[in-house]
């Protein structure tokens, strides 16, 4: 399944500068429909109101982390199939393993660029159409 440039994407990060960076990277790749949320709780609320083709979430956020968000999404029958890419500044092996066990689609370690984001998305969806 190739990724569709018209699919809506939800970017979740408690740092507005990071949201802006990811939004710009997605724009460079051709995505226009990008929403954002500042933590896991607000992301869940958005996801309950709108279907997203992909969630890109930071790991470290308060009060609900990206890891907790991932677990909630995977536990929800309506949301469980949503592709989910986790972003973190930490490349700890145990975090990667925990995210994989929780059902993450892919994992990106900061800093990253558009080419890295694209390759991680292609690993989830296949090449862009």
129 band by pLDDT with thresholds 50, 70 and 90: low
Phi and psi at 43, nearest 5°, equal -65, -45
Fill in the DSSP letter of residue 63.
Answer: S
Residue that has been written with the tokens 């080419």 in this structure = 115
pLDDT tens per residue, range 34-87: 999 999 999 999 999 999 999 999 999 999 999 999 999 999 999 999 999 999
Cα separation, 85 vs 57, whole angstroms? 6
Cα separation, 75 vs 72, whole angstroms? 5
pTM of the model: 0.95
127 band by pLDDT with thresholds 50, 70 and 90: confident
Question: Which domains are present in the chain?
Answer: 9-117 (3.40.50.2300)
- Average pLDDT of 8-36? 96
Side-chain half-sphere of 89: how many Cα atoms within 13 Å? Answer: 5
Q: Which of 52-61, 84-93, 102-111 has the lowest mean pLDDT?
A: 84-93
Angle at 21 between CA 58 and CA 70, to 5 degrees: 20
Of residues 108 and 93, the one with the higher pLDDT is 108
Phi and psi at 32, nearest 5°, equal -110, -30
């Amino acid at each position: 399944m190739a990724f569709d440039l018209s699919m809506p994407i939800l970017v979740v990060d408690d740092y507005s500068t990071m949201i802006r960076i990811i939004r710009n990277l997605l724009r460079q790749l051709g995505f226009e429909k990008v929403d954002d949320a500042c933590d896991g709780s607000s992301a869940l609320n958005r996801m309950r109101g709108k279907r997203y083709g992909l969630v890109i979430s930071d790991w470290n956020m308060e009060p609900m982390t990206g890891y907790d968000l991932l677990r909630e999404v995977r536990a929800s029958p309506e949301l469980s199939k949503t592709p989910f890419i986790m972003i973190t500044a930490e490349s700890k092996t145990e975090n990667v393993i925990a995210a994989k066990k929780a059902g993450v689609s892919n994992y990106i370690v900061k800093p990253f660029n558009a080419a890295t984001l694209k390759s991680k998305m292609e690993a989830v969806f296949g090449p862009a159409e």
